[in-house]
Each structure stands twice: as C-alpha cells, then as structure tokens.
Structure 1
Amino acid sequence: MMETHTGLSGISRRLFAFLSYNSAFIYNEKMHELKRELFLSLPRFAGADGTLRLLEVGCGSGANFQYYPHGCTVTCSDPNAHFDAYLRRNMKRNPHLSYEGFVVASGEGLEHVEDGSVDVVVCTLVLCSVRDVRKVLQEVRRVLKSGGAFFFLEHVASSTSSWLRVLQLVLDPLWSRLGEGCTLTRATWRDLEEAGFSQLHLRHVNAPKVSAVIRPHVMGHCVK
C-alpha cells in the first residue's frame, strides 16, 4: 500500500526523508546507551511460539532496527512513502530481523493492522509530530495483544518555569514548519498517563549532546 505525493508536498516529503535518514546516524550515536537500555526488555514480550512480532509506527528510515532482538518480525509504518528506499538499506544492514513490509499510514490510521495482532509497538520521535496523540495511543492499544507492550522515546516540553520552555515556545512555529509538524511543546507524558494501559513505566531524562530545545525526553514502556 503506497501513496504518491506530487508538487511541493512531494518535494518536501522527499527532502525530509533524506535529511531524516542522515540525521538518524547522528542521533543514534548520541542516544545509543539510552536506546540500548530502552529496548533491552523487548524479548520479554515475545509470543508463545518465541517470536516477537513488532510494529514500528513512524519508522522513518529504520534507525531502531539495530536494537531489536535476533529473529524479531518487524512491520514498518510511516505516512511518508519516500522512506521506502532508506528502509530497504537499513533492512540489508540488519539481516538478523525478519521484515513483513512497509505500509504508508499515519499513526492515527492503522486499519491495516488487525486487533490484538502484535506483541510490541514502538514509537521514537513520533508522538511529537502526530496530529492526535490520543488517537495514536488508542490505535496502539487496539493492535497490541493482551499483555503486549508499547515502547517509546520522545522529546517533550521542558518544565513550565524554565528558560528552556520559553525558548521552545518562541521557536515552535518555525520548528514545526521545518520539521513536518514536529512540535517542541508537547507534554506527552500526560497523554501516556491517561491512555488506559494497565502499567506505565516512564522516566524523564535529559538527552546527552543533542540540541538544547529537544533535550528533555521521556522514555519507557506501557503494558496493555
């Protein structure tokens, strides 16, 4: 299922895919230890047959593939069709995984995924740019098996009393325009707290060596 985009929209999405692919290497290098820690418990959620069926929402260029356990079956989903070529490159670099394919879809519209069909859903740097965080989390809960888990790593708004929050508010309109809707001022942890998961394991961290405006992050996992 592929969409095509023409005109300025298509050019913008193609450029965004190219820039995201190249910046992902830099981000991974700076966030390597946090990502490794985040995904360490993925194997715990494998199905009864030992296979971990994972859906990555907003997969981008596949920068997380290297952190997934051997034999994991991965389905990729992203609203930008131009990530396809970069995904294939990262698939070749990570032959320890099995790939179900790439579906062009937003996080709010995962109709292609059956109810209760995946063990794990992953989002990293995605909830900052979706139109409706609550709808995305509803979809995540729908597609997860009972006892399945949602893993997340997201940059978030700084505390309301900080100088950084003021800077985020000032930069947010331009940042969002350049970053395909990415916003600096979301309190994503509140949406996670209210999403109705049976368990929430969430930690606030300051990401090392990244731009100050996206340094505040939340990371962790929820259990359905």
Structure 2
Amino acid sequence: MTEASILFLRACLALLAMPIYLLSFLGIWEPFCKKIFFPFFLEKFSAIHERKTKKQKQELFHNLPDFTRPSGELKLLEIRTGCSANFQFYPPGCRVTCTDTNPNFQQALSRSVNKNQLVHYERFLLAVGEDLHQVPSGSADAVICAFVLCSVRSVNGTMKEVLRVLRPGGAFCFLEHVAADHSSWKYFWQQICCPTWKLIFDGCCLMREIWKNLEQANFLELNLQHVNIEQPWMPVWPHIIGYAVK
C-alpha cells in the first residue's frame, strides 16, 4: 500500500479518537491516563492477556533458578512492573524489586503480592528504565522486562542500565511485542495504528525492532526467538522471547 493510503487511514483513525487528541492538546489526557485509565485498563486486560501468554511466560521464567547465587539468594529486578502479572511465575523464595514510572500501579501491585506470598517483595522504586540509579551496580541476578521496551524512551539506554545492575553471569529475561515483517499486512496496520495507539496506551510503540537493540548490546550470550501470540483485536501479533546473559 502507498504512503498516501497509510496517511489517509491514520487520519481516519485520528478522527475517531478526536476526543482523546483534544484532551491531550488541553493537557488533560496524560494525567488522566496515568492516574485512572491505564492502571484500570492494564489490570483488567492482564487477566485476558495472561491466558494468551501463559505458556510463553512459563517458558521464559522456568530457568530463573539457574541464576541463583551460591548463597541461595535469587534477586530479581522487574522494570516497569505495572500490575505485577509476572509474580505468579517467579520461583518461591526469590526477592523482587519492582520499578515503574507510574506510582498509581502500587495498589494493583499490593494485590498481586498478597496473592503470591511465596515471593519476597522487597520494594517499589519510581524510576524509568534508562535511569535506575537507585539500584546498585551488579546487584541483580536477573532483570525482567515483559511488554516494557515498547514504551521506554530509549531501548539502548535501558539496555545499558540493565547491564550495569546485573551481576556477571546474571540474566536479562524479555518478552516483547515488536514490528511485523515490513512486507506484511500486519506491518501495514501497525503503521496506521501507531500514532493513535501510542497516545492512548502511555507511549507504547508498535513498530520497534527490539531484537536489533538486543543484538547490539554487549551481552555474552543471547537466546532469542520470534513468536506469534495472536491478539485478534490488537496490532501486537509478532513477539520476541528469550534471555541474555551478562
């Protein structure tokens, strides 16, 4: 399809979302989104999304015990925890530090902690992925990113911080939606939806080729797979899953 077709369909979608664009222009949408809409949507949507991604997350997190320290401790750092939907997959006894840019997720986080009491929740840090200065260098055995790198301001900056906070031999575990093949209809629809999607869903970008950032980062080992997780009404079909070792 031509660039003109994409621009036309983007304009049509923007017209449908005009109230949100107007609220954004007036400076109302972003605080409403962060405080009310996005925490509410994400918590409700997580229940549906978890059924779709359960198999992939079980696969992703099953080898976390391999990164336990000789002392028996396993310290996890989760970037942009959100509603903490990953706690159910973590090994019993591990210690988890959570970070997010949005303090309004802490109520949902507390509910998840209460449901998963075999996991030792340590603290919540208000922080962006590109600046984790509150976390000491080399202190984490594993860093978790699940549907996070789509919305950070800089994937490369986040990777630098991940490498800093990981201990040598530690793991970076990731599950992310990514851009589709450029010749596919899926990519065509991602191009159309991206500007409006990014506005509504707190900066989530549909067209990032995150695997390239991971390949360029200075990990000693990278295990990465491209998979499809079908979401019939959402343009986030292609995903990458795997782990990298520092």
Counting only pairs closer than 5 Å after superposition, residues 21-32 of structure 1 correspond to structure 2 as 21-32=43-54
The residue number in structure 1 matching 2:116 is 94
**One of 161, 167, 171 as aligned partner of 1:139:** 161
Equivalent position of 1:10 in the other structure:
31
Report SS of the residue matched to 1:218.
Answer: strand
SS at structure 2 position matched to 1:177: helix
TM-aligned CA deviation for residue 44 of structure 1 = 0.2
CA shift for structure 1 position 48: 1.3
| CA–CA distance in structure 1, aligned partners of residues 140 and 81 of structure 2 | 16
User: What is the one-letter code of the residue matched to 2:33?
Assistant: S
Structure-2 separation of matches of 1:25 and 1:42: 23
| Structure 1 counterpart of 2:193, from 155, 171, 175 | 171
Question: Quick check: 1:54 aligned with 2:100?
Answer: no
Q: When the two structures are superposed, what TM-score results if normalisation uses the length of structure 1?
A: 0.95
Deviations for 1:42-95, whole angstroms, at most 9, x for unmatched residues? 100011111110000010010000000000100000000000111000000000
| 202 and 141 in structure 1: CA distance in 2 versus 1, 3 angstrom threshold | same
**How far apart are the structure 2 equivalents of 1:70 and 1:114?**
23
- CA distance in 2 between partners of 1:46 and 1:204 (Å): 27
User: Which runs of no fewer than 5 residues in structure 1 stay unpaired?
Assistant: 1-5
Cα RMSD between the aligned structures?
Answer: 1.3
- Matched position secondary structure for 1:23: helix
Choose from 75, 86, 89 the match for 2:97: 75
Q: Secondary structure at the match of 1:28?
A: helix
- Give the TM-score taking structure 2 as reference length: 0.87
Other-structure match for 1:187 = 209
Contact 1:31–1:208 under 8 Å retained in 2: no
Which residue type is aligned with residue 177 of structure 1?
Answer: L
**Alignment-mate amino acid for residue 218 of structure 1:** I
Distance 2:165 2:233 in 1: 34
Look up the SS of the partner of 2:240 in the other structure. Answer: strand
Which protein has the larger Cα radius of gyration, Structure 1 or Structure 2? 2
Further displaced range: 27-36 or 205-214: 205-214
- 2: distance between equivalents of 1:168 and 1:9? 22
Residue 10 of structure 1: CA displacement?
2.9
For the pair 1:217 / 2:239, whether they are aligned, the reply is: yes
In the alignment of these two chains, the number of paired residues is 219
Query: What secondary structure, in the 3-state scheme, does the structure 2 residue paired with 1:213 have?
Result: coil
* Secondary structure of residue in 1 paired with 2:83: coil
1:34 alignment partner AA: Q
- Percent of aligned positions with the same letter in both sequences? 43
AA in 2 matched with 1:55: L
TM-superposed deviation, 1:210: 5.0
Gaps of 5+ in 2: 1-26
Q: Check if 1:204 corresponds to 2:226.
A: yes
**Residue 7 of structure 1, CA deviation:** 6.2
> What amino acid is the match of 1:30?
K
